[in-house]
Structure 1
Amino acid sequence: MADPYRLTITPPTLSGIPSDETLLNAGRELIESTKSWKQGKTYDKGRVKTFSRPKGPEDGAAWHLRLSVHGPEDATFDEFWSKLGVDKAENEKSFIPDIHKVTLVKRISPTQVLWTIQYVFPPPVSPRIFTVLQTTHLDTTSAARAGYVISIPVDLTSDPADSEFAKLEEKGVKGRYVSVERILELEGGKVEWRMATSSSPGGNIPQFVAEMTMASKISEDVPHFIKWFHTVRSQPNAEQVGEAAANTA
């Protein structure tokens, strides 16, 4: 029997990307394992907790987790999923200040999309390019709904067949990250947002420096998301606009 697929920062080529089912199983297994990770600092006035797991023999880097619980005043389950489970990379550009450009490389299926993302940092740090496959899954079969977003790095330069897609990547140092996010519906209308990630910035930044700042950096995404979401919360989505147009026709 083949060994189960493990999530890592080592990128497959486009032709070698795993199936939805393989990635979902690996993502679920990883998220369950985070319950035993070592707790670290808390951020955003205690609303965001962080955890970590040291680099293992099959890992490319250590793992870090942030965990936050939100009431409906922040966002409902459906609202979280509408922004994180649909075109996530494009939405992240709106609330993560370091993201400068997002390009859709290929929409492989309704649940698998390939993006290339350019991060721009203050000098002297060079821009970083991350090309990732994002796989989404919404589980409505259990009593508590759960949405998963699994992101893995993809190498577009090793296989000549991918050369046209590689042209869509911006110039810059190539970094790698792998992540699993789970949006879990809790009682009382609350939502748990759990995100585990392992990454390498590439270039001349020592890995230990990146690891030292990882907890605080990933924690910033939570208040950034909530602040941004509240600016767009009352805006109708495309489906609502279409329905309204149909009703007035």
Structure 2
Amino acid sequence: MSEGFKLTITPVKPAAIPAEETILGVARSLIESTSTWTQGKTYKNVKTYHRSKTLEDGAPWHCRVSEHTSAEVTFDQLWGKLGKDKAINEKEFIPEVHKVTKVKEISPTSSIWTIYYTFTPPVSPRVFTVLQVTHLEETSPRTGIIISIPIDLSDNKDLEKLEEKGVRGRYVSVERIMELENDETEWRMATSSTPGGSIPSFIVESTMAGKISQDVPHFMKWFHGLPK
């Protein structure tokens, strides 16, 4: 079932979800490969990279990388907000995320979520349903990884009822939070996506680097505004 598994925007049905070890292995290879991708624009302290679509991909890949001092955010603080309840917290710091629903918990580190995005008209709302898998490596350097894989619930009507109504988009992503030697933390994220509907792909791709880089300052503003 998991043989030949690839991280792409092609949705996976719940019955065909590979083992977590398989997902983690593929995700690690992908995020490590981002060091060889083509560098794009830098937005303040956020560097972006990209990789063209291959025959196995449904869309090109984009990556952002930022490094943070312990005064900004520590490894434990970043992992605490992204390695646990990621979808719930993203609703608080990503303006377009309007609603999130946990569809099914598969294990303590693996759950299916449906995420409802709203945009400025005339762009209609989008629904992204994903499996989120998390894993924390306690060995040095401590590394946390979060993988999101598009899921197709059409074979399970009970689960499908939990999805919001809207244009179905798809995204796949791998985030890696890693301790660095200088008491800093690297936050690296790679993603490939399609918003669905009639938005031309060239518009989506031309704005992707700027869009994903905004997640970092959005997170920092939200995190530093939390009650201490």
Say whether residues 1:216 and 2:213 are aligned partners.
no
- Please show how residues 63-212 of structure 1 align to structure 2 within 5 Å: 63-141=61-139, 143-157=140-154, 159=155, 162-212=156-206
Q: Which runs of 5+ in 2 are unaligned?
A: none
TM superposition score normalised by structure 2: 0.97
Q: Which runs of 5+ in 1 are unaligned?
A: 235-249
Q: Aligned Cα RMSD in Å? A: 1.0
- The Cα shift of 1:74 comes to 1.1
**Number of corresponding residues:** 227
Greater Rg by CA: 1
Letter in 1 for 2:31: I
Equivalent residue number for residue 36 of structure 2: 36
TM superposition score normalised by structure 1: 0.89
- The Cα shift of 1:3 comes to 5.6
Bigger proportion of residues as helix: 1
Cα distance in 2 for residues equivalent to 1:192 and 1:224 = 16
Cα distance in 1 for residues equivalent to 2:188 and 2:127 = 24
Letter in 1 for 2:29: E
Identity of aligned residues (%): 62
Moved over 3 A (4+): none
- The Cα shift of 1:37 comes to 0.1
Letter in 1 for 2:195: P
Cα distance in 2 for residues equivalent to 1:140 and 1:98 = 33
Cα distance in 1 for residues equivalent to 2:176 and 2:143 = 7
Cα distance in 2 for residues equivalent to 1:233 and 1:217 = 27
